[in-house]
Amino acid sequence: MRFYVPTEVYNAENCVERYATKLASFGKKALIVTGRYSAKKCGALDDVIKALESNDTAYEIFDEVENNPSMETVMKARDFGLKSNVDFVIGIGGGSPLDACKAISMMIKNKDKGMEMLYDAGYETTYLPTVCIPTTAGTGSEVTPYAILTVHKDKTKRSLPHKIYPVLALTDSKYTRFMSHENTVNTAIDALAHMLESNLNTNANLYNRAFSEYGLKIWGASKDSLINASLEEKDFNNFLNASTIAGMAIAHTGTSLPHGLSYTLTYELNIPHGKAVGIFLPGYLKEYAKNDSQAVKECLNNLDFKDIDEFKHYIDTVLGKVSFDQTLLEQDVEGIMANEKKLKNYPFKITAEELINFYDV
């Protein structure tokens, strides 16, 4: 068995202020990578700027990261970072800015390489020191080596083959309280999917399952707050901690079939990532239980659900019904069935019909 998380993680109230010296210690000039709004709205960007200025560390801001960031955006930020002569990268935001900042740090470090490096595993993975500060409780990107980008030529999202671990993660649930309730739900469901898919996974072992199981318990303790939109401080803390813990779990296993099915829906229909993943979770559990009902039962027990039907009712309640053309799902499944890499994290044989039924359960 193996467990490896090289990211130094601090979780605390006013975390950026408390660890300002650590944040500023990775170079002389930082490239701050964000989207246009969330990092400003929640106060995280101001906190980071104050932390850097208090330690006489220079910085530049790239705030053009879109939802589901593209390869083209990464290269634009790389050029900006090179021109600005930065020597480390700070990502602030949800999964999109955090994933983008990892890819940007790699491309700045490899300034003589073109866009082809992003998806070419033949290149050595080297990158600038990267710090991640999450403002959502969903992806756990602050502790994973993964970066997922939009590949427009293939009309999908795809994870880089390079493993890019942040050197530091600063997590503070106060930044997550500025999201809309819809975004809070969607990101929380993404974290839930990470815990389930890492637990019920070909690569799962005692170590990552320990993280998954604990994460499911604290997520489950706050699950009702997503139904009645009544999140309190403890709920924001629970969901953020569960998200980071889930990141530690998937760092060792990767995700599985619900994530694989979701990417086309996000690209083609602009369905938020967490929602696109979540609609396949009940079907995933139902199919998995045909081969290992005890493993599924333990996951549901940790979440305090009595069975898959109760779990499905909960998912339908918090996400609402999602309708789309069955042909799109069939095309998606056809692509997954033709790609052995997309099936490898599911430990049992599965047919195209069974995959399609993940949606209609």
Tens-level pLDDT at each residue, the chain (361 residues) = 888 899 999 999 999 999 999 999 999 999 999 999 999 999 999 999 999 999 999 999 999 999 999 999 999 999 999 999 999 999 999 999 999 999 999 999 999 999 999 999 999 999 999 999 999 999 999 999 999 999 999 888 999 999 999 999 999 999 999 999 999 999 999 999 999 999 999 999 999 999 999 999 999 999 999 998 999 999 999 999 999 999 999 999 999 999 999 999 999 999 999 999 999 999 999 999 999 999 999 999 999 999 999 999 999 999 998 888 889 999 999 999 998 888 999 999 999 999 999 997 5
Instruction: Output the CA–CA distances (angstroms, integers) from residue 99 to 32, 193, 214, 217, 350, in the order listed.
Output: 13, 18, 25, 27, 30
Q: What is the pLDDT of residue 321?
A: 85
pLDDT value, residue 239: 98
Which tokens hold the place of 45?
A: 């960007």
Give yes or no for a contact between 136 and 189, defined as CB atoms under 8 angstroms apart. Answer: no
**pLDDT value at position 307?**
98
Which tokens in the block code for residue 84?
């600005």
Question: Residue 2's pLDDT is what?
Answer: 84
Residue 182 pLDDT:
96
Q: Which of 337, 214, 361 is nearest to 286 (CA)?
A: 361
What is the model's pTM? 0.95
Which pLDDT score, from 0 to 100, does residue 155 have?
A: 87
Torsional class of 292: left (φ above 0), alpha (ψ -120 to 50), beta (otherwise): beta
For residue 130, list its beta bridge partners.
89
Q: Would strands 156-159 and 148-151 be described as parallel, antiparallel, or unpaired?
A: antiparallel
Gap between the Cα atoms of 343 and 337, Å rounded: 7
